[in-house]
Chain A
Amino acid sequence: MIAVARTFSLVGVEAEPVYVEADVGRGLPAFTIVGLPDTSVRESRERVRSALLNSGFSFPMQRITANLAPAHLKKAGPGFDLAIAAALLASSGQIDVHVLDRYALAGELALDGTIRPVPGALAMAEATRSLGLQGIAVASQDAGEARLVDGLEVVAIEHVSRLTDLAAGSLASVPREATPDLCGPSQDDAPDLEDLRGQPTLRRALEIAAAGGHSMLLTGPPGAGKTLAARRLPSLLPPLERGEALEVLRIAGACRGAGNGILPVGRPFRAPHHSASARALIGGGSPPRPGEVTRAHRGVLFLDELGEFRRDSLEALRQPLERGSVTLARAGGVVSMPCSFMLVAASNPCPCGHGRDSGRCECNPAFAARYASKLSGALADRIDVQIQVDRPSAAALSGDPGEPSRRVRDRVRQARERQESRLGPGRCNSATEGPELRRTGCFDEGAGAALELGHAQLGLSGRGWDRVLGVARTIADLGGEAQVTGLHVSEALNLRRRGGP
């Protein structure tokens, strides 16, 4: 008799349905798993055998074949254990086969039959709903995450022996609050901007970047406060909305598993080390896994020591930065993952950190030039706000704490509301193309004249021109002004690094 259980395989951050067909028939005792399983899936045989024997079930001494369909999709990981066990039990008549039509199953088995959590419970729960099933059975640690999906019954199952209860309908489903609160770590738990003392220009740049969602490049000597400032950026951003929080949680769940089901309020902050490969940044592998850009979705991606990153890693960031999504084309198919993040990069002006104009630079010129080219290449042209950061004065360091994040966040929120009323919900100036900005932005004559001059004197590229337009619009939004004037444009030009001598 053939039984079919439903489970999922994670591709990127989405759950793809996988059908586990089990056939227990006559023949020499054997247990085979087919359908492109990797080693961890093939080892599932040993876990399933032990778990069933240790839970009071019998393991049929017959020829057992488990097929994971669709056959073309590569399957990896131990998340298929529970579904394989259930299909096998149903096929050998130990549980009612109809339970498999009502519930999808996802979980890893321990040898004693305990069920362990798997990555991507939220994505799997969403996929279960779109398959039209009644519910999903997951490990109790995964239940919190899965129950965030509306209109779906979630059953927490701690042990494989409880499959009998599930089939009998005697296993209670996890109660679901009508609208679970966003109660994860909030911005108030993140490092606060009041720690940044002095440095008014840097503060202003952070506020503008947060208000318009603009990417930033901070250049300055070691100890100037670049990292300190970047880590405080998430605290200036408006809290996540429910939909965004679900996206963030789905990605986090797909990466590490066993999310606690608490929707985060604060925005993600990812700071990959500069040795990161292009694949680590944008994602990859087989099956494809999300990279740092996706894990920074709806939050901040911080690249410290930009000049030390490998060139190919930086080049790979261009498309994700512009599109807000990353598309990986592999032999196995095309995978798309969301990644709308704010890029914040920090760098020393040259490898020794003093800067080529300081007179104290000790760098080998060729090396320094290669370093500088990474800071001024095609990636840098896509960065809207580029400023130099100086070491703060002693007076500023011993002075009063700066304005706290809470107050800055209020202004940022108002500026974002103005952008949304002009551009539409969820949109901001940084994600708006030049033509639309010009059409909707209300630039007055002074703004046009300042831009013309900037183009002639500061050598702005066409893209640079559009970026300045966007930043100038954000500055006006922060000031609550309808018109963008020459003053706004000239301040925006100051936030655009020019090629030094």
Chain B
Amino acid sequence: MNRPGACDDCLRRAWLVAGLADRIEAGLGSARREARELLALEDGRLAEAVAAGDAERILETARAADTAAAREAVERTGLWATCRHDAVYPGRLRDARDAPAVLFGRGSEGLLRELSEEPAVVTIVGTRRPSAHARDLAESLGARLARAGAVIVSGMAHGIDSASHEGALSAAGRTVAVLGGGAEIPSPRGQARVYRRIANEGLIVSELPPGTAPRRWTFPARNRIMAALGRMTVVVEARSRSGSLITAAIAQDLGRDVGAVPGRVGDPGAEGTNELLRAGAHVVRGPEDVLDALLGAGAGRATIASSRGGSSLEPELAAVLAAVSTGSASCDEVARTCELGPPAAASALVRLELAGLVRSDSAGRYRLPA
């Protein structure tokens, strides 16, 4: 297997973008141009666009940049780099016209290769301030999709993003975080714990060379990478002007599937997702709907069922699980349906709950996880 690698030209481009980061930030304010638009420009036009007077000098410096020193900086920070011309560069990323020249990253190189081949790569995004319900839902979506074999891509932001990463990690599944700053440090800092776990068990990537601090524009910019990596983008909860909607729009542009979790009508917190649904996004009620959209109708339930390891359960637990799967049930109802004594039913329900196969709510009723 080849190790990830990057050619000199692509590295120079990456450092050029990083060098222009502050000017891009300023240019977005005055020229009102989208970061994506700028990033799609080739070197000369990009420098022209954001640094009209200085363009020549900047380009000159970039051309003369010492790529050996750049490679050394990458190694020193424990990262690797892969460029468009490399075999392990994620295939789906090439679909984007404005795809980054280089991806810097750390974590599992195996997972980097699998990103190109795996049919079920799901990007989960949403608000940084979710309702408790939406946060639970994102976590369980991450966990159950990962358990069914999907790769979960997200942006490690507070809220929905980190919840879906945590879900995937709790299921010992595969997850990829795309950062808005250099890949060697967690951004936002508050997610350092999740960052460490993903670095050990998953994959962390960024288009920005090590040492680059996140700017305002780098977050919508990394959204295009998330949208391109996933075969489907699911928005769990978003307000009407949420950044997640940018990710969904880019995914749509790239011809990817877009799904949204329905929210309560009139709830401002779910206005964005409901708007997506009205515009024709897939309705996502659970992992089954995501897998159905990706793998064909009916695939979802089958995949989920096999990932539950239904066959490995004791017959009594399997019967209790079946009794719960038709909707929510109290301990008494389960005991009656399965013809078990209350002690046996209670004990079976708790064992299933401990295994993560059922959940209980505050009214003492058990149901399948969301």
Contacts and interface: CB of A to CB of B under 8 A. Distances in A.
On whether the two chains bind one another, the answer is yes
Contact of B343 (A356, A486, A491, A501): A491
B360 interface: yes
B361 interface: yes
B364 A497 contact: yes
A358 to B, nearest CB: 7
Of the listed residues A388, A475, A494, the one surrounded by the most CB atoms of chain B closer than 10 A to its CB is A494
B266 to A, nearest CB: 15
Contacts of A219: 364
B362 interface: yes
A500 B330 CA distance: 15
B335 interface: yes
Contacts of A355: 362-363
A358 B133 contact: no
B347 interface: yes
Contact of A388 (B330, B335, B354): B330
A201 B346 contact: yes
Contacts of B136: 501
A180 interface: no
Contact of B133 (A201, A454, A501): A501
Nearest to A475: B343
A490 B132 contact: no
A497 B362 CA distance: 8
A349 B362 contact: yes
Contacts of A358: 363
B317 to A, nearest CB: 11
A201 B362 contact: no
Interface string A41-81: 00000000000000000000000000000000000000000
Given A387-B364, A390-B332, A500-B361, A454 B354 contact: yes
B339 to A, nearest CB: 12
Interface string A119-153: 00000000000000000000000000000000000
Contacts, number: 84
Given A487-B347, A501-B136, A201 B363 contact: no
Contact of A201 (B331, B354, B361): B331
A457 interface: yes
Interface string B339-370: 00111111111110110100011111100000
B347 A490 contact: yes
A453 interface: yes
A337 interface: no
Given A201-B342, A499-B362, A494 B347 contact: yes
A321 B341 CA distance: 32
Nearest to A449: B354
A495 B133 CA distance: 24
B362 A490 contact: no
B360 A498 contact: yes
Contacts of A457: 353-354, 356
A116 to B, nearest CB: 53
Contact of B346 (A349, A357, A495): A495
A204 B349 CA distance: 15
Interface in B161-187: none
Contacts of B362: 349, 355-357, 497-501
A115 to B, nearest CB: 57
A357 B364 CA distance: 10
A487 B349 CA distance: 11
Q: Report, nearest first, the 10 A-B pairs whose CB atoms are least far apart.
A: A500-B362, A388-B364, A494-B346, A490-B350, A200-B342, A490-B347, A453-B354, A491-B347, A204-B342, A201-B331
Interface of B: 132-133, 136, 330-332, 335, 341-351, 353-354, 356, 360-365
Interface of A: 198-201, 203-204, 219, 349, 355-358, 387-388, 390, 450, 453-454, 457-458, 475, 486-488, 490-491, 493-495, 497-501
25 contacts: A198-B332, A204-B343, A355-B362, A355-B363, A356-B362, A357-B362, A388-B330, A388-B363, A388-B364, A450-B351, A454-B350, A454-B354, A457-B353, A475-B343, A486-B351, A487-B347, A488-B347, A490-B347, A490-B351, A490-B354, A491-B346, A494-B347, A494-B349, A501-B133, A501-B362
Given A201-B342, A204-B343, A357-B361, 20 more contacts: A200-B342, A201-B330, A201-B331, A201-B345, A204-B342, A349-B362, A357-B362, A358-B363, A388-B364, A390-B330, A487-B344, A490-B351, A490-B354, A491-B343, A491-B347, A493-B350, A493-B354, A494-B346, A497-B364, A498-B360
